[in-house]
Structure 1
Amino acid sequence: MRRTTIDGIPVHRIPSTGPLRFGLRFGCGVRDETYRTLGASQVVERLTAERAGAEAGAGLVTYGSLSDLDETRFYGSGAPEEVVRFLESVCRTLSDLPLDRLEHVAGILEIENTAPVDVRAAQALSARYGARALGLAGQRGPGHRALTADMVREHAATHFTRGNAVLLLSGPEPEGLRLPLPDGARPPRRAPRRLAGHVWAQRDTDGIALALDAPIGSAAARMGHCVLMERVDRLLRERLGISSHVDVVEVSRDALSVERILVLDAAGGKEAAVAAALWGEAVRMAQEPPLPGELMEYLTWLRRTWTEQPDPWARLQEASNPDLYGIPYLDDATALTQLGRVTPQEVREAMRAALEGALLVVPVGVHPSLTGLDGRRLEHTGVCEVWDTPFPPGEVFRRPLLARATDRGARGDRLVLTPHSVVHGRDDWYHEYRFDEVVELEQWGWDRTVVARCGCSMRLVRGSHTGDDRVRSALDRAVPSSRIRVRTAAR
């Protein structure tokens, strides 16, 4: 494995014969967008790949592109001279996007409606972080068609630069390769603030997810999470037959910490049982050290996999992460040595630390009975809803009299207007939408949709509450114009 630079861009290459395989990586994805610019990375990726593919012609063996939560990538393989032509076209296009194709590409992307990560993990991230950074994985935003040319151009100029790129190559040396990317530094990525931890929440999902964070270099945490996966798989799939698969989605919170999300499916009607078993096994690992044999089983499997089924391209990608994200890299031998030194007690301590901030997400309507680390009933949270607490003081607006007379659910429903927020709720709960935490106020004729930083939204429909004109006027006055979007398309 060799590391060089071309035009100031780090290049990691494995020399070999045959076609030249490449991957031009940019440290930019959904987490680097805002609620308003959601989808901008995908649009830049698709516009660029479309033009570069056309310019490369049919001679390139294969090429493609992707944009997910953390990264945008242009990849493929072919003869060295064809790869050189394709990569140079990608770099030139990023400085001069074909924005005349924006409407067409945005429409295609809205039809495809691809998610940046597993939808169960996306809902867990949204519940954990709200409508920002990693939490944007679970948000739809205004849509690709709402992106303007200026938004896309500015996003590309900020994130698709030589300071935020790295090139992977496997094969012969590409003679004369140039990477004419625009100048620019790597934008900082800070760890987003968690909204909740050591609780469970309901979300619009069809499976179960457990979000755990840990120091990115913690061998004990990695070992613990893998042992937990194995235990849960054996219990739920092999013994009980109520879940067919357990997987993990791993994302970096920042250069120092990682979020691992265990995701499971569940047999119909067994969601609460799957959630209880997953949480119960995690608590048991935080209270009792695993058996030495469990650690050795995972270590043996990992050593055999890396030895018998090596993946040089995956190692190449991991070796480039320090250049792209500032994440430390460990080669296989060093990683195995560190994992081999982990003790059962260290695993227990790491699992306890992770579980203290964990979030379990279940489908709406599922109410598992769970116990926390302190032995008490685990708290259920709407993440940002407040339960069994008096409403903040303010001007109260209730549903119209006819609605209250004919609809039992409307009787306790109310809006409260305070000097700094609109509060919506019923007798036993409420959600406060602070004006300074509104990320988007959509105006649909008279109607309004408020999107809060936590990721929740409230729709205000004319006639839904008495005096709702005053609430609408307060929102329009308080929310900055830069966060107001006038919508004219049909809902």
Structure 2
Amino acid sequence: MHRDQIDGVPVLWAEAPGPLEAVLMFGSGVRDETFRTLGVTHLIEHLAMSTLPRLHHDHNASVDLGLTQFTATGRPEQLVEFLAKVCEALGALPMERIEQEAGVLAAENSSVTDPTTAELLSIRYGIEGPGLASFPGPGPDRIPLEAVRETAARRFHAGNAVLVLTGPPPAGLRLPLPAGDRPDRSGQSPVLQPGPVWQQAEVPGPGLALLCDLDDDAMHLAVNVLRHRLTEVVRHQHGLSYDVGGDTVYSGPGRGERVLCLDARPGQEQRVAELLWQEAVRLATEGVTAEELAEEVEAAREVFEDPRSVVYELGEAAGELLLGGQYREAPERLDAMRAVTPDRARAAFATALRSALLVVPHEVEVGLRQADGSELPQGSCTAQAELPRGGQVFRPSLKDRLRWSAARRTRLVVTGEGLWSSHSDGSVHHLPFADVVGVEIQGPGRLVFGRGNCWMPVLPDVFQGIGPAVRAIDAAVPEALRYPASSFNSAD
């Protein structure tokens, strides 16, 4: 791997088969946004790409949780032109196109990760940082104009960029980006739910997230062993699942989530969740074999020696540079994996299992035991024992209370500190005004979102006489956090 610098931008390159490929990466993603500005990075990417003329070579752009990438493949002179135009556009975004590109984003309706991983992240981190992955936010047409300008100036500059090339930098290559300082990446995303718990959510199948050291080779191998075991048990032995997927999510230097997500045959979600947990506990208690570790090391060697892995390795090095990590060359990582013993792999996994988040679809109930024999508790949104005394109390309409028993047990209480609600199952939830991250204005009502992965409807079709509650919300929540419902949303 070679390292150069062009116009203040680090350039990483290595020879790879095929046409020249370029990836211009920025350390900016969804986890850097807020609920109120969700989608701003994707909008900036679209605005920049909208300035390009018709191109006759492969090119694209994408945004994930931590990075934004502009990619192109073609002849050297084509890539020189592409990169120059992207950089120029990022320095002078066509703000007059915001309305059109917001509509394109609404039509695209993309997500930065799969729905199961997204729900696990929102449980772990709430509605901030990586937890933003599961939320659509206010809508692309409600992104503040100032947020677009501020994010572009703060994130899309030479100090927060790396260029990757699968060959030497071509003649005439320029990267005319504004100057800037690299953002501080030393902090960790605050954890809302440390685990271990299981929880129901709007997911297609079971999933497991483990908070751990992402640089720990023992943990990396242990998770790969678990994934292989699950494929054998859930798919090949029982025929309950097709795919055992995996993901790695960065939450701060060296730390993050290792995630496993499984699909399930209809009606078999509970059984798949039970097998997932049982195999995880078995690995934490009984460990792995030397043969299993050797198999995973051999699989890694095959990947590392494949010439097509050059682009991946360059991307890994660039990502570590942008996110404040330490990149290790593939041979060094392979030697470190060969040194992992079965005891180390088991110990690393057992430690991580104490942070476990197991998510299952809403209709699924499970009764599971941890490695020490204790019950795996069920998690939920932050709940209180009872409603507070005093405050303004709001109830569903008399008609609803006469028709539905659930409505008779439902209350909304508004105090100077925040909102409280009691549900038909007897649970009581609290959303402090200090934790509000967004308030959607829906006509005379409000939809209030809290940092702790919680939202409350203060709407006339749920509670009667909500005028005083709405006035209290508007008085307590800064105007910058309030926004009208997106024009792209249906009436439902």
Q: TM-score, normalised by structure 2?
A: 0.94
Q: Which residue pairs with 2:4 in the alignment? A: 4
Identity of aligned residues (%): 38
Deviation at 1:431, TM superposition (A): 1.4
Alignment root-mean-square deviation, CA:
1.8
**Residue correspondence of structure 1 range 410-489 to structure 2 within 5 A:** 410-426=407-423, 428-462=426-460, 464-487=462-485, 489=487
After superposition, the C-alpha distances for 1:94-123 in whole angstroms (9 at most, x for unaligned) are 011111111111101111101111121111
| CA deviation string 1:143-179 (max 9, x = no partner) | 1111243221211111111111000111243112221
Partners of 2:17 and 2:308 within 8 A in 1? no
Maintained 8 Å contact 1:445/1:488: no
CA contact (8 A) 2:30 2:129 kept: yes
Q: How many angstroms apart in 1 are the aligned matches of 2:295 and 2:80?
A: 45
Match of 1:285 in 2: 283
After TM superposition, the structure 1 stretch with the greater mean CA deviation from structure 2, 134-143 or 391-400, is 391-400
Q: Among residues 254, 257, 260, which one is paired with 2:255 in the alignment?
A: 257
Alpha-carbon offset, residue 262 of structure 1: 0.6
Matched, 1:41 2:48: no
One-letter amino acid of the counterpart of residue 475, structure 1: I
CA distance in 2, matches of 1:203, 1:145: 28
8 Å CA contact retained: 1:17, 1:172? no
Show the 5 A alignment for 1:45-56. 45-51=45-51, 53-54=52-53
Gaps of 5+ in 1: none
1:299-321 CA-to-partner distances (Å, cap 9, x unmatched) read: 12222332356511111112223
Change (3 A) 1:241 1:15: closer
| Superposition deviation, residue 351 in structure 1 | 1.0
- Is 2:323 aligned against 1:325? yes
Q: Which amino acid aligns with 1:424?
A: S
DSSP 3-state at the match of 1:171: coil
Q: Equivalents in 1 of 2:17, 2:413: separation in Å?
A: 70
- What is the letter of the counterpart of residue 147 of structure 1? I
Q: 1:97 aligns with which of 93, 97, 105?
A: 93
Q: 1:466 to 1:315 in 2, by over 3 A?
A: closer
Superposed, 1:47-196 pairs within 5 Å as: 47-51=47-51, 53-54=52-53, 57-58=54-55, 60-189=56-185, 190-196=187-193
Instruction: Name the CA distance, whole Å, in 2 between partners of 1:372 and 1:473.
Output: 47
Note if 1:204 corresponds to 2:174.
no
Q: 1:211 to 1:383 in 2, by over 3 A?
A: farther
- d(CA) in 2 for partners of 1:227 and 1:9? 39
Deviations 1:367-410 (A, max 9, x none): 11111233122111124244xx2333333333333322221111
**CA contact under 8 A between 1:321 and 1:328: conserved in structure 2?**
no
Q: Report Cα offsets for 1:279-312 as digits up to 9, x if no partner.
A: 1111121222212221112112222332356511
Report deviation, 1:453.
0.8
Distance 2:464 2:378 in 1: 32
Unmatched 5+ residue regions in structure 2?
A: none
Q: Determine which of 383, 390, 403 is the counterpart of 2:386.
A: 390
Match of 1:300 among 298, 301, 314: 298
Task: Give the residue type in structure 2 aligned to 1:116.
Answer: V
Residue 266 in structure 1 maps to residue 264 in structure 2? yes
How far apart are the structure 2 equivalents of 1:260 and 1:16?
29
Change (3 A) 1:314 1:161: same
- Going from structure 1 to structure 2, the CA distance change for 1:188 and 1:289 (only over 3 Å counts) comes to same
